[in-house]
Structure formats: C-alpha cells, structure tokens
Amino acid sequence: MIDRRLSIAPMMDHTDKHFRYLMRLLTKHSVLYTEMITTGALIHGNHKQFLDFNPEEHPIAIQLGGNSPKDLTKCAQMAENEGFDEVNLNIGCPSNRVQNGGFGAYLMAKKELVAECINSISNNIKIPVSIKTRIGIDNHDSFEFLKEFIDIVSKAGCETFIIHARKAVLQGLSPKENRKIPPLNYKRVYKIKENFPHLNIIINGGFTKLDQIKSQLKYVDGVMIGRSIYHSPYFLADIEKEIYSTENISTREEVIKELISYVKVEIKKGTKLHHIMKHTLGLFHGISGSSFWKRYLSENMCVRNADIQKVDHILDKVKYPNQNSVSI
C-alpha cells in the first residue's frame, strides 16, 4: 500500500526523471509523479522515452492527459507494464492547449465521461488509479458540484483524489494565474473527506511552511506540494524528517556527491548536463551563498554544451566559503 501522506506534484517542464532522482535523494517515502503525458504522445510518440524512470524513484505515478477511455486504458497498461506504481488522470490543468484537446480541468464538467474513463482503466490494470482535480471550474464552484463529481467518479473505481483547493478559471486566466488568483478553499476539501471517509483525499495548493503542511494531516490523508519544493528542494528534507521521522537525511553536500555519480552515468547515455543540473538551482535556497551557487550553475552547468569536467570541481565551490562559495 502506498503511503500518501506526502507527494510531489506533477509539473510540466519540471518533474522529469532527473528532478525525480534528486527528490529521491531527499525523501525515501514521498510519492513522485511524472509530468503530464498525453495519450497521443504516448501512443504515437517515443513511448520508451516517456515511460523511462530510475528504479530509485518508487513509489512513482504516471500522470496521463486524455479523454478517450480506450486510449487512456492502453496507456495505463503500458505504464503498468513498465513498472509504475499508480496511474493518475489529469482533471485539473486549465491551459488552452489542454482545453482544446478536451481534457484536463475541462473534464470536471463531464463527470460521466471521467467515470467511463476510470471504469475502463481500473478494470484493465491492477495498480491504483487516482485523479488530480480542482474544487470547481468557472461557475461550477460549489461544494455540491464537487461532491457529485467525487461520488460518481469514485463509484467507477477511483479511490484517491488529489484536490487543488482552487477552482480553475478556463477563460481569462493563464495557467500561472490559475495557481494564484482563484482563492484557496481548504475547508471544501476537508468537507469532502468528511463526506467520503473511505476515500484517500489529498490536498494541494499554496503550501510553503512545515507547520502548515503538518496541520493538514488532521483533516485529510495527505498533502501534495509542488513549486515550493522545486524552488527550494532541500525543504523536502525538513518535511521528510518531520512527517516520517526519517533519520540520517543527506546533507546538501552529500546530495551533490550522489548527484555527480548520477550525472556521469547519464552523460554516457547522451543526457545533456544542463538537463540535470538546472534542477539544483534552488538547493541552497535560504542560506548564505545561495546566490553564488545559482550564478555558478547558471554560468557553467545550466547552459547548452556545458563542460562535464566542471562537475568534478563543483564540491570545491561548496566546501570553501573563502572562495565566494556556498557555506553548508
């Protein structure tokens, strides 16, 4: 059974396999999610590339975007065969591209179709199926609307709902604005848990402090965090220690040492250095020297054709504060 107390949100252009590997150096328990992968891309594109992940990433869920029960089921079976631990359906993304494709948050108004998709997927794979959604869309912004959506879809075979505690505004707001402008309504998510105590209800949206995250577990089964972790990855180590009582968490320096070994293996596979190191820009966020760290990475490792030889010297930049470096 998956421990769902903490999970890292799927984020486009962020949660690739390299970022997820970094996350696993900081947490042994949190559930990791891929970026959203559309059914069309998976069926007609390079599915081996889309389904690639490191063994260390378990538990890991794949997030799918689509609206065809047949295509979603085929993709879910592909994911199960590759060893994913969960299939997640995106019913929360408000971007124009996703809307034009007829999936994402748009599907909240098509609960019967969502139920059909879930029913087909859950009847054809053995791993869990979950949904990431919003508390509402546009004028469909009431507890009753959300409750009816959860009721119908859960009866089709979904036991885990990750709910972003903001509604999605499909016309007039960008995806970035949809993450900030619609007000948070945590109480609506708490009420969903009260009404569906047998379901796993995970809350998402606006969590940036440890006490804030811990307090949510009084009301729901878990918390999903996203951009606060991406911009300050080591915050995850603090959460891991507090939520799971994990001891011997790697220091920032130890994380870098392990990541260097990973980088050298990936470079031999043809991976570009900047594709990995860009995820570490915020590793020293909040401590003395973080601006130097970001500048050093930006100038030396987060550029195209970055010199792999400089990876061997990166710890020197960490260890010696007398050289304008980061002090751990």
pLDDT in tens, 261-318: 999 899 889 898 889 999 999 998 988 778 888 888 888 777 666 666 667 667 676 6
Contacts of 73-81 with C-beta under 8 Å, sequence gap 24+, read: 73/120, 73/121, 73/124, 73/125, 74/39, 74/43, 75/37, 75/39, 75/42, 75/43, 76/121, 76/124, 76/125, 76/129, 77/124, 77/125, 78/42, 78/47, 78/51, 79/51, 79/127, 80/125, 80/126, 80/127
For residue range 77-100, what is the model confidence (pLDDT) as tens digits?
A: 999 999 999 999 999 998 888 888
Find the helix packing angle between 17-26 and 235-244, rounded to 10°: 50
pLDDT value at residue 26: 96
Ordered by where they begin, the domains of the chain are 6-244 (3.20.20.70), 252-323 (1.20.120.1460)
pLDDT value at residue 317: 66
Angle CA(72)–CA(54)–CA(71) in degrees, nearest 5?
A: 10
- For the chain, counts of helices (H) and of strands (E): 16, 8
For residue range 33-46, what is the model confidence (pLDDT) as tens digits?
A: 999 999 999 999 99
3-class state of residue 187 by DSSP:
helix
Q: Which two tokens stand for residue 26?
A: 């900081």
For residue range 98-154, what is the model confidence (pLDDT) as tens digits?
A: 888 888 999 999 999 999 999 999 999 999 999 999 999 999 999 999 999 999 999
pLDDT value at residue 322: 41
Instruction: Spot the catalytic one: 75, 93, 117, 302.
Output: 93
Q: Which two tokens stand for residue 24?
A: 């696993």
Q: Identify whether 93 is a catalytic site residue.
A: yes
For residue range 173-204, what is the model confidence (pLDDT) as tens digits?
A: 888 899 889 999 999 999 999 999 999 999 99
> How many angstroms separate the CA atoms of 226 and 212, rounded?
14
Residues listed for the chain: 328
Residue 212: alpha-carbon gap to chain centroid? 19
